[in-house]
Amino acid sequence: MAKSVGTVRAEQTAVQMASLQRGDYARAALLLAVTFVLFSQTAHHGFISYDDPGYLSGNPVVRSGLSAASLAWAFTSLAMSNWHPLTWISHLVDVQLFGLAPAGHHLMSVFLHGVSAVLLYLLLLRLTARPWRSLVVAALFAWHPLHVESVAWAAERKDVLSGLLFHATLLSWVGYLKRPSSGRYLGALALFALGLLAKPMLVTLPVVLLILDAWPLGRLVPGEEGGRPAAARSGLFVEKIPFFLFSLASCAVTIYAQHHGGSMAELRAVPLGGRIANAATACLGYLRQAFWPHDMAVLYPLPASIPTAQAAGAAALLCALTALAFWRVRRSPYLAAGWCWFLVMLLPVLGLIQVGAQSMADRYSYLPLTGIFLAVVWGTSDLLERVSWGGKGAAALAGTVLAALGVATWCQVGVWADSLTLYRHTLEVTTGNYLIMNNYGAALNDAGRTEEAVQVLTRAIEVEPLDPSSYYNLGRIRQVAYRDSRGAAPLYQRAIELRPNYLDAQINLGGALNEMGRPAEARQLLERALGLPGADRADLRFNLAVSLVNLGETAAAVRELEKLRPLDPALAQQLEGFIASRTQSPAQQK
């Protein structure tokens, strides 16, 4: 019986790979070294005020380092509206190793990104036995400026960690296909599970496995005797059922976590038509940035509306590109495979179920763009192979593109040096970005540039009068910098009107009411706040205890003091002194 095309191709690949082993390590080392150089300046960067406090610098559990309690927290916490215990453990390990010095955290992300690129190179090499094409694709993944956000932002550790596990899973799966065994199968499945525990973005991996079945594995290619049997084709799906089940479970947990954390926009807040329009235009936006990366920002604001003609044009162009890819599927199967990889991996983050206020995000392209890189590198190489000078032309073209991207990446890494630099750059390249205006204003205030901060936050409120965060930060300046609690209170109240569960605003308003001599109102507000998610906080306990002392309820204040001690010993000591100055000492009271 004649062998199927898929079997013959697999055998040919094994032979080709055997003759290419000598240079593999050198190419992988070069890839890793250049990646480290391009991102090395992150060693001098600090943490930024956007999400880094929630993940690292301001997270009391992470700051405590590795312990039985922190590991248990990692598996049970829905902090930052996500359930990704492996990511939390990664941060805990970094704190244990480097403390809160940013350099160690940043360089660990660079290392993970570099290793991930090496795994991608080895994966493509094993799949195709094309070392130089594989190296170029891996270098595009490693050195593209659109991926700087995922590497240079400490809070996006989940990207580089899940990316490494994504590539490790695919490499392990290919090993299973080459030499099937239950151990190798379970190994690939375990790596996939770990990847999901790092970031649920990997839920589309089972579909990527099916895409690889089509190309380059050739497991869907008809055989010489009438084609692959239907049972064999269905078997390709059956073997991946456990992977799909893991993905479904991850989707359910993710939706719950996002909803619980308040990050998932209600469907009525962004109409379905608007979400579909944004998805189509965002797809083209990622493609545009892939080929001409410029004006990259930490947040691209979601537009209030997208013209129907623009949305329709974007959808039509996407359909045309899809048709073109499949029209060439027999001669150039990598076009359809790469295009499907791109679209499928983007699907969870296109905003059809809106999470956050962004229209798109550079970090969302971290894994999807590999499909575009595959299609472009293989397509360009095949075209150039038709001419006599094609080999030298391909090398020159690849070198020029990679050098240009490397320069752009180096410059973009510099944008992430600190909060002020990042926010200032983002405001320069985007318009109406009130969320970043709010962050910029808060960062200016933290840097002691209070007057500039007030101007920026006032402008943010003018752009979006319904954004509670700008009112909160402006109130914080009034209360702390200007010692103006009466001016701060209405700003906090407005923030709470716009976001009833705004815990920070309620805590600070309670403090302002105490300072204004209205402890009864402060107590009522803060006791209600105790029922909100994540309310067991040191600042809330402190403000509540102060209101109780001012009301003459010292025993109740002492009970709050005891609850405060494990949360923040320094603040508990301050409260103890306050109680002692106003009443008897806590020991006497007991």
Check if the beta carbon of residue 395 is closer than 8 Å to that of residue 131: no
Higher pLDDT among residues 355 and 556, named by residue: 556
pLDDT digits (tens, 9 = 90+) for 424-470: 999 999 999 999 999 999 999 999 999 999 999 999 999 999 999 99
Q: Which residues of 139-153 are buried (b: 16+ CB within 10 A; e: fewer)?
A: bbbbbbbbbbbbbbb
Check if the beta carbon of residue 302 is closer than 8 Å to that of residue 358: yes
| Mean predicted lDDT score pLDDT of the chain | 90
pLDDT digits (tens, 9 = 90+) for 223-277: 444 445 555 677 899 999 999 999 999 999 988 887 776 655 544 466 778 889 9
Sequence-separated (6 or more) residues with CB below 8 Å from residue 244? 206
Torsion-angle region of residue 307: left (phi > 0), alpha (psi -120 to 50) or beta?
beta
> Hunting for tokens 């360009």 — which residue is that?
380
Helix and strand numbers, DSSP H then E, in the chain:
30, 2
3-state helix, strand, coil in the chain (%, to 5): 75, 0, 25
Residue 134's CB is within 10 A of a number of other CB atoms, namely: 24
Domains and CATH numbers, the chain: 22-415 (no CATH), 445-500 (1.25.40.10), 506-590 (1.25.40)
pLDDT digits (tens, 9 = 90+) for 332-382: 999 999 999 999 999 999 877 756 677 899 999 999 999 999 999 999 999
Query: Which tokens belong to 493?
Result: 């109240």
* Banded pLDDT at 385 (limits 50, 70, 90): confident
* Banded pLDDT at 542 (limits 50, 70, 90): very high
Of all residues in the chain, the percent with pLDDT exceeding 90 is 78
